Amino acid sequence: MVTFLNVVIAGLLLGGLYALIAMGLSLQYGVARVLNISHGEFIMLGGLTTWTLYTAFDINPLVSLVIVGPTTFILGFIIHRTLFKRLLSSSTSPGIFESSSMLASFGLLFMIQNIASIAWGPEIRGYSYLAVPVHLAGAVFSANRLVTLGFATVIGLAFYLFVARTRLGKAIRAAAQDPATAGLMGVNINNVLALCFGFGAAMAGIAGMLISMCYPVHVVMGLEYTIIAIIVVVLGGLGSIPGSFIGGFVLGIIGSVVTYIDPGLSLVAYYLIFILLLLVRPTGIMGK
Protein backbone atom coordinates (compact mmCIF):
# COMPACT_ATOMS: atom_id res chain seq x y z
CA MET A 1 0.00 0.00 0.00
CA VAL A 2 2.79 2.36 0.93
CA THR A 3 4.66 1.47 -2.27
CA PHE A 4 1.52 2.14 -4.26
CA LEU A 5 1.19 5.56 -2.67
CA ASN A 6 4.84 6.30 -3.41
CA VAL A 7 4.41 5.40 -7.02
CA VAL A 8 1.37 7.66 -7.27
CA ILE A 9 3.16 10.59 -5.64
CA ALA A 10 6.14 10.09 -7.93
CA GLY A 11 3.65 10.04 -10.81
CA LEU A 12 2.12 13.33 -9.70
CA LEU A 13 5.55 14.91 -9.44
CA LEU A 14 6.32 13.85 -13.01
CA GLY A 15 2.77 14.64 -14.12
CA GLY A 16 3.01 18.28 -13.07
CA LEU A 17 5.86 18.80 -15.52
CA TYR A 18 4.06 16.93 -18.28
CA ALA A 19 0.94 19.00 -17.67
CA LEU A 20 2.85 22.27 -17.98
CA ILE A 21 4.64 21.20 -21.15
CA ALA A 22 1.45 19.88 -22.70
CA MET A 23 -0.55 23.01 -21.89
CA GLY A 24 2.08 25.00 -23.73
CA LEU A 25 1.84 22.80 -26.80
CA SER A 26 -1.94 22.77 -26.52
CA LEU A 27 -1.95 26.56 -26.88
CA GLN A 28 0.33 26.41 -29.89
CA TYR A 29 -1.47 23.55 -31.59
CA GLY A 30 -5.01 24.00 -30.31
CA VAL A 31 -5.21 27.75 -30.93
CA ALA A 32 -2.38 28.76 -33.26
CA ARG A 33 -2.62 25.48 -35.26
CA VAL A 34 1.15 24.97 -35.19
CA LEU A 35 2.14 21.43 -34.25
CA ASN A 36 5.36 22.82 -32.86
CA ILE A 37 8.05 20.14 -33.16
CA SER A 38 10.52 22.66 -31.68
CA HIS A 39 8.49 22.88 -28.44
CA GLY A 40 11.10 20.84 -26.56
CA GLU A 41 13.85 23.21 -27.70
CA PHE A 42 12.28 25.97 -25.61
CA ILE A 43 12.40 23.54 -22.67
CA MET A 44 16.09 23.00 -23.41
CA LEU A 45 16.70 26.77 -23.66
CA GLY A 46 14.92 27.31 -20.33
CA GLY A 47 16.93 24.54 -18.66
CA LEU A 48 20.35 25.55 -19.94
CA THR A 49 19.71 29.26 -19.31
CA THR A 50 18.76 28.46 -15.72
CA TRP A 51 21.91 26.35 -15.39
CA THR A 52 24.10 29.21 -16.67
CA LEU A 53 22.40 31.77 -14.45
CA TYR A 54 22.88 29.55 -11.40
CA THR A 55 26.43 28.31 -11.97
CA ALA A 56 27.93 31.47 -13.50
CA PHE A 57 25.94 34.27 -11.84
CA ASP A 58 24.69 32.52 -8.72
CA ILE A 59 21.07 33.38 -9.51
CA ASN A 60 18.58 31.20 -7.64
CA PRO A 61 16.81 28.89 -10.17
CA LEU A 62 13.40 29.94 -8.89
CA VAL A 63 14.32 33.59 -9.38
CA SER A 64 15.40 32.87 -12.93
CA LEU A 65 11.70 32.24 -13.60
CA VAL A 66 11.29 36.00 -14.09
CA ILE A 67 14.10 35.94 -16.65
CA VAL A 68 13.37 32.66 -18.45
CA GLY A 69 9.59 33.14 -18.63
CA PRO A 70 9.53 36.56 -20.33
CA THR A 71 12.52 35.75 -22.58
CA THR A 72 10.97 32.59 -24.01
CA PHE A 73 7.62 34.41 -24.30
CA ILE A 74 9.17 37.19 -26.38
CA LEU A 75 11.08 34.68 -28.48
CA GLY A 76 7.88 32.72 -29.20
CA PHE A 77 5.92 35.90 -29.93
CA ILE A 78 8.54 37.14 -32.40
CA ILE A 79 8.79 33.74 -34.11
CA HIS A 80 5.04 33.72 -34.65
CA ARG A 81 4.99 37.30 -35.86
CA THR A 82 7.82 36.78 -38.37
CA LEU A 83 7.49 33.16 -39.45
CA PHE A 84 4.09 31.61 -38.76
CA LYS A 85 2.03 34.73 -39.48
CA ARG A 86 3.52 34.82 -42.98
CA LEU A 87 2.91 31.12 -43.51
CA LEU A 88 -0.67 31.62 -42.37
CA SER A 89 -1.37 34.48 -44.76
CA SER A 90 0.15 32.60 -47.69
CA SER A 91 -1.69 29.33 -46.93
CA THR A 92 -4.85 28.82 -48.94
CA SER A 93 -6.42 26.42 -46.42
CA PRO A 94 -6.04 25.50 -42.73
CA GLY A 95 -4.79 22.04 -43.76
CA ILE A 96 -1.97 23.54 -45.82
CA PHE A 97 -1.01 25.79 -42.93
CA GLU A 98 -0.91 22.87 -40.49
CA SER A 99 1.51 20.91 -42.64
CA SER A 100 3.71 23.84 -43.68
CA SER A 101 3.91 25.18 -40.13
CA MET A 102 4.88 21.77 -38.79
CA LEU A 103 7.69 21.52 -41.34
CA ALA A 104 8.81 25.03 -40.45
CA SER A 105 8.88 24.12 -36.77
CA PHE A 106 11.10 21.14 -37.67
CA GLY A 107 13.49 23.66 -39.17
CA LEU A 108 13.29 25.73 -36.02
CA LEU A 109 14.24 22.66 -33.97
CA PHE A 110 17.52 22.29 -35.86
CA MET A 111 18.28 25.99 -35.80
CA ILE A 112 17.68 26.39 -32.07
CA GLN A 113 19.55 23.17 -31.28
CA ASN A 114 22.59 24.19 -33.33
CA ILE A 115 22.73 27.70 -31.93
CA ALA A 116 22.43 26.22 -28.43
CA SER A 117 25.24 23.76 -29.07
CA ILE A 118 27.49 26.67 -30.07
CA ALA A 119 26.58 28.43 -26.84
CA TRP A 120 26.59 25.51 -24.41
CA GLY A 121 28.46 22.65 -26.12
CA PRO A 122 27.48 19.00 -26.01
CA GLU A 123 28.14 18.39 -22.30
CA ILE A 124 25.44 17.21 -19.93
CA ARG A 125 24.88 19.97 -17.38
CA GLY A 126 23.50 19.74 -13.91
CA TYR A 127 23.58 21.42 -10.55
CA SER A 128 22.31 20.71 -7.10
CA TYR A 129 19.59 22.90 -5.68
CA LEU A 130 17.09 22.11 -2.93
CA ALA A 131 18.16 18.47 -3.13
CA VAL A 132 17.19 17.95 0.50
CA PRO A 133 15.10 14.92 1.40
CA VAL A 134 11.46 15.34 2.36
CA HIS A 135 9.53 12.50 3.97
CA LEU A 136 6.10 12.01 2.48
CA ALA A 137 3.73 9.08 3.01
CA GLY A 138 6.53 6.86 4.18
CA ALA A 139 8.78 7.61 1.22
CA VAL A 140 11.53 10.13 0.56
CA PHE A 141 11.34 12.72 -2.18
CA SER A 142 13.73 15.57 -2.82
CA ALA A 143 12.39 19.03 -2.08
CA ASN A 144 13.12 20.35 -5.58
CA ARG A 145 10.69 17.86 -7.11
CA LEU A 146 7.94 18.98 -4.77
CA VAL A 147 8.66 22.59 -5.69
CA THR A 148 8.37 21.59 -9.34
CA LEU A 149 4.93 20.13 -8.76
CA GLY A 150 3.84 23.22 -6.85
CA PHE A 151 4.97 25.58 -9.61
CA ALA A 152 3.46 23.50 -12.40
CA THR A 153 0.13 23.31 -10.59
CA VAL A 154 -0.03 27.02 -9.76
CA ILE A 155 0.88 28.03 -13.31
CA GLY A 156 -1.61 25.55 -14.74
CA LEU A 157 -4.48 26.72 -12.55
CA ALA A 158 -3.65 30.40 -13.00
CA PHE A 159 -3.64 29.97 -16.74
CA TYR A 160 -6.88 28.04 -16.64
CA LEU A 161 -8.56 30.86 -14.73
CA PHE A 162 -7.09 33.41 -17.13
CA VAL A 163 -8.55 31.59 -20.12
CA ALA A 164 -11.90 30.93 -18.44
CA ARG A 165 -12.54 34.36 -16.93
CA THR A 166 -10.72 37.24 -18.61
CA ARG A 167 -11.58 39.16 -21.78
CA LEU A 168 -8.33 38.13 -23.48
CA GLY A 169 -8.75 34.54 -22.29
CA LYS A 170 -12.17 34.36 -23.88
CA ALA A 171 -10.76 35.80 -27.09
CA ILE A 172 -8.20 32.98 -27.05
CA ARG A 173 -10.95 30.36 -26.74
CA ALA A 174 -13.03 32.03 -29.42
CA ALA A 175 -10.02 32.15 -31.74
CA ALA A 176 -9.44 28.44 -31.14
CA GLN A 177 -13.03 27.62 -32.10
CA ASP A 178 -13.48 29.92 -35.09
CA PRO A 179 -10.72 32.45 -35.90
CA ALA A 180 -12.58 34.26 -38.69
CA THR A 181 -15.67 34.84 -36.54
CA ALA A 182 -13.50 35.92 -33.59
CA GLY A 183 -12.13 38.58 -35.97
CA LEU A 184 -15.70 39.71 -36.69
CA MET A 185 -16.16 40.22 -32.95
CA GLY A 186 -13.23 42.62 -32.90
CA VAL A 187 -10.46 40.23 -31.88
CA ASN A 188 -7.12 41.08 -33.48
CA ILE A 189 -6.47 37.54 -34.57
CA ASN A 190 -2.80 37.86 -35.50
CA ASN A 191 -2.05 39.30 -32.08
CA VAL A 192 -3.95 36.60 -30.23
CA LEU A 193 -2.24 33.80 -32.17
CA ALA A 194 1.20 35.31 -31.52
CA LEU A 195 0.34 35.71 -27.82
CA CYS A 196 -0.70 32.05 -27.63
CA PHE A 197 2.49 30.95 -29.30
CA GLY A 198 4.43 33.13 -26.86
CA PHE A 199 2.55 31.76 -23.82
CA GLY A 200 3.23 28.23 -25.06
CA ALA A 201 6.94 28.97 -25.44
CA ALA A 202 7.04 30.54 -21.96
CA MET A 203 5.44 27.44 -20.43
CA ALA A 204 8.09 25.33 -22.12
CA GLY A 205 10.84 27.66 -20.88
CA ILE A 206 9.53 27.56 -17.31
CA ALA A 207 9.19 23.77 -17.52
CA GLY A 208 12.83 23.67 -18.61
CA MET A 209 13.80 25.75 -15.61
CA LEU A 210 11.94 23.33 -13.31
CA ILE A 211 13.40 20.28 -15.05
CA SER A 212 16.94 21.62 -14.59
CA MET A 213 16.44 21.59 -10.81
CA CYS A 214 15.77 17.84 -10.79
CA TYR A 215 17.40 16.34 -13.86
CA PRO A 216 20.55 16.94 -15.91
CA VAL A 217 20.03 19.13 -18.98
CA HIS A 218 21.72 19.11 -22.38
CA VAL A 219 21.33 20.44 -25.91
CA VAL A 220 19.48 17.45 -27.40
CA MET A 221 17.06 16.87 -24.54
CA GLY A 222 14.12 18.60 -26.23
CA LEU A 223 12.64 16.12 -28.67
CA GLU A 224 11.73 13.54 -26.03
CA TYR A 225 9.67 16.16 -24.22
CA THR A 226 8.06 17.29 -27.47
CA ILE A 227 6.88 13.74 -28.09
CA ILE A 228 5.57 13.43 -24.54
CA ALA A 229 3.74 16.75 -24.97
CA ILE A 230 2.14 15.57 -28.22
CA ILE A 231 0.99 12.35 -26.52
CA VAL A 232 -0.47 14.27 -23.58
CA VAL A 233 -2.24 16.78 -25.85
CA VAL A 234 -3.88 13.92 -27.77
CA LEU A 235 -4.61 12.07 -24.51
CA GLY A 236 -6.29 15.14 -23.01
CA GLY A 237 -8.15 16.10 -26.16
CA LEU A 238 -6.92 18.46 -28.87
CA GLY A 239 -7.53 22.08 -28.04
CA SER A 240 -8.67 21.43 -24.47
CA ILE A 241 -6.45 23.19 -21.95
CA PRO A 242 -7.98 21.46 -18.90
CA GLY A 243 -7.62 18.21 -20.87
CA SER A 244 -3.89 18.77 -21.31
CA PHE A 245 -3.55 19.59 -17.62
CA ILE A 246 -5.35 16.42 -16.50
CA GLY A 247 -3.74 14.34 -19.27
CA GLY A 248 -0.30 15.38 -17.99
CA PHE A 249 -1.01 13.93 -14.57
CA VAL A 250 -2.55 10.77 -16.05
CA LEU A 251 0.53 10.14 -18.17
CA GLY A 252 2.81 10.99 -15.24
CA ILE A 253 1.17 8.35 -13.07
CA ILE A 254 1.26 5.77 -15.87
CA GLY A 255 4.94 6.59 -16.41
CA SER A 256 5.64 6.22 -12.72
CA VAL A 257 3.89 2.84 -12.49
CA VAL A 258 5.76 1.53 -15.54
CA THR A 259 9.07 2.88 -14.25
CA TYR A 260 8.43 1.03 -10.99
CA ILE A 261 8.08 -2.22 -12.96
CA ASP A 262 10.91 -1.56 -15.41
CA PRO A 263 12.56 1.87 -15.82
CA GLY A 264 13.45 1.16 -19.45
CA LEU A 265 9.87 0.73 -20.55
CA SER A 266 8.29 4.12 -19.83
CA LEU A 267 8.68 5.56 -23.36
CA VAL A 268 7.47 2.27 -24.82
CA ALA A 269 4.40 2.47 -22.60
CA TYR A 270 3.77 6.07 -23.70
CA TYR A 271 3.83 5.11 -27.36
CA LEU A 272 1.60 2.12 -26.68
CA ILE A 273 -0.95 4.36 -24.97
CA PHE A 274 -0.68 6.82 -27.83
CA ILE A 275 -1.42 4.14 -30.44
CA LEU A 276 -4.25 2.61 -28.40
CA LEU A 277 -5.73 6.05 -27.89
CA LEU A 278 -5.67 6.86 -31.60
CA LEU A 279 -7.42 3.56 -32.28
CA VAL A 280 -10.00 3.64 -29.49
CA ARG A 281 -10.69 7.25 -28.57
CA PRO A 282 -8.90 9.69 -30.90
CA THR A 283 -10.72 12.64 -29.36
CA GLY A 284 -8.96 12.14 -26.00
CA ILE A 285 -10.27 12.39 -22.43
CA MET A 286 -11.87 15.84 -22.71
CA GLY A 287 -12.25 15.67 -26.48
CA LYS A 288 -15.19 17.35 -28.15
Partner 1 sequence: MLEVNNIDTFYGKAQALWDVSLRVDEAEIVALIGANGAGKTTLLNTVCGLLPPASGSVEFLGQRIDGLAPHSIVELGISHIPEGRRLFPHMSVSENLEMGAYVHEAWKRKEETLRQVYEMFPILQERQGQLARTLSGGEQQMVAMGRGLMSRPRLCMFDEPSYGLAPLLVAEIFRIIQGLRDHGITILLVEQSVRQSLEIADRAYVLENGRIVLEGDGKSLLKEELIKKAYLGL
Site residues for partner 1 per CB under 8 A? 92, 167, 170-171, 173-174, 177-178, 180-189, 288
Smaller CB distance to partner 1: residue 46 or 243?
243
Give the shortest CB-188-to-partner 1 separation in angstroms. Answer: 5
Shortest separation between residue 262's beta carbon and partner 1, angstroms = 40
- With CA atoms as reference, report the closest residue to 84 among 163, 166, 27: 27
Identity of the residue, 31 or 206, whose beta carbon is nearer to partner 1 in the bound complex: 31
Q: Which of 255, 251, 254, 247 is CA-nearest to residue 284?
A: 247
Burial 113-139 (b: 16+ CB within 10 A, else e): beebeeebeeeebbeebbeeeeeeeee
Minimal distance in Å, beta carbon 165 to partner 1?
Answer: 10
Minimum CB separation of residue 195 from partner 1 in Å reads 14
**Cβ-based nearer residue to partner 1, 178 or 262:** 178
Nearer to partner 1, 72 or 240 (CB): 240
CB of 269 to partner 1, least distance (A): 31
Question: In a 10 Å sphere around its CB, with 0-12 CB exposed, 13-18 middle and 19+ buried, how is residue 216 labelled?
Answer: middle
Which distant-in-sequence residues (6+ apart) come within 8 Å of 24 by Cβ?
39, 42, 199, 200, 201, 202, 203, 204, 207, 229
Residue with Cβ nearer partner 1 (96 or 276)? 96
Residue 92 Cβ, how far from partner 1 at the closest point, in Å? Answer: 7
Q: Residue 19 and residue 241: Cα distance in Å, rounded?
A: 10
Of residues 206 and 241, the one with the C-beta less far from partner 1: 241
- Do the beta carbons of residue 266 and residue 218 sit within 8 Å? no
Identity of the residue, 1 or 93, whose beta carbon is nearer to partner 1 in the bound complex: 93
Q: Shortest distance, CB of residue 146 to partner 1, whole angstroms?
A: 35
Classify residue 9 by burial, with Cβ atoms within 10 Å: 0-12, 13-18, 19+: buried
